[in-house]
Amino acid sequence: MKDYIEKRAIELAQYIVENNATVRKAAKVFNISKSTVHKDVHERLRRINPALYKESQAVLEQNKAERHIRGGMATRQKYLHERNI
């Protein structure tokens, strides 16, 4: 595997763990697609750094479990904002 891909996978995982970031946020910061983030963090990182893989997976699972709450809060804010206009 190319060195820059391995380096990117490690940097992505470190960013996700340090910032409790979502896949979308990491993709935006690194200017890559969500699919690339998934491929790097789910497939490549498992072989490169298993310990970091487990840490990043814990954060991503937590974000996945909470995403319906964040969506509901965003919708609530949208309608509160519309009501106040």
Q: Could you report the per-residue pLDDT of 20-69, keeping only the tens digit for each?
A: 999 999 999 999 999 999 999 999 999 999 999 999 999 999 988 887 88
Give the pLDDT score at 15: 97
Burial class (CB in 10 A: 0-12, 13-18, 19+), 13: buried
What's this model's pTM, rounded to 2 decimal places?
0.79
Mean pLDDT over 1-9 rounds to 89
pLDDT at 85 over 80: no
The domain total for the chain is 1
User: Which residues constitute the domain of residue 43?
Assistant: 3-84
Contact in structure between 64 and 57 (CB atoms under 8 Å): no
Give the pLDDT score at 35: 96
Contact in structure between 41 and 12 (CB atoms under 8 Å): yes
Give the pLDDT score at 67: 79
